Amino acid sequence: DAMVIQNPRYQVTQFGKPVTLSCSQTLNHNVMYWYQQKSSQAPKLLFHYYDKDFNNEADTPDNFQSRRPNTSFCFLDIRSPGLGDAAMYLCATSAGAMPDTQYFGPGTRLTVL
């Protein structure tokens, strides 16, 4: 039973063409996270929502935005993808603040042509 679902699993976009990745959860968790993992690198936190409160990491580029219209869904918008944005994007949830376990989706692999 999937608990954190990400769509699509693979996304191809063109340089500069906006793209949206989606994440949904059936856990009713308060916190949702977006991570970026580039090839051979560690997953890196982009931002997270605690309920409706948005928390951006200081080094997350302005090109990346997020929306959380309700508890279950969270979106990652990349306004003008560059070649350097090609990566695996992971969504995760947790019930509350740390050290709660995070539950991950399978990720969306983004290719930028």
Partner 1 sequence: ILNVEQSPQSLHVQEGDSTNFTCSFPSSNFYALHWYRWETAKSPEALFVMTLNGDEKKKGRISATLNTKEGYSYLYIKGSQPEDSATYLCATIGGGSNYKLTFGKGTLLTVNP
Residue 90 contacts partner 1 per CB under 8 A: yes
CB of 73 to partner 1, least distance (A): 17
Select the residue interacting with partner 1 from 54, 55, 80, 84 (CB under 8 A): 55
CB of 80 to partner 1, least distance (A): 26
Strand ranges inside the chain, DSSP E:
4-7, 10-13, 19-25, 31-37, 44-50, 53-56, 64-67, 73-78, 87-94, 103-104, 108-112
Question: Per-residue DSSP letters for 53-81?
Answer: EEEE-TTS-TTEEEE-SSSSEEEEEESS-
Select the residue interacting with partner 1 from 40, 62, 69, 70 (CB under 8 A): 40
Q: Candidates 11-19, 67-75, 78-86, 98-106 — which segment interacts with partner 1 by CB under 8 A?
A: 98-106
Select the residue interacting with partner 1 from 64, 76, 105, 110 (CB under 8 A): 105
List residues near partner 1 by CB under 8 A.
Answer: 4, 31, 35, 40-45, 48, 50, 55, 57, 90, 97-107
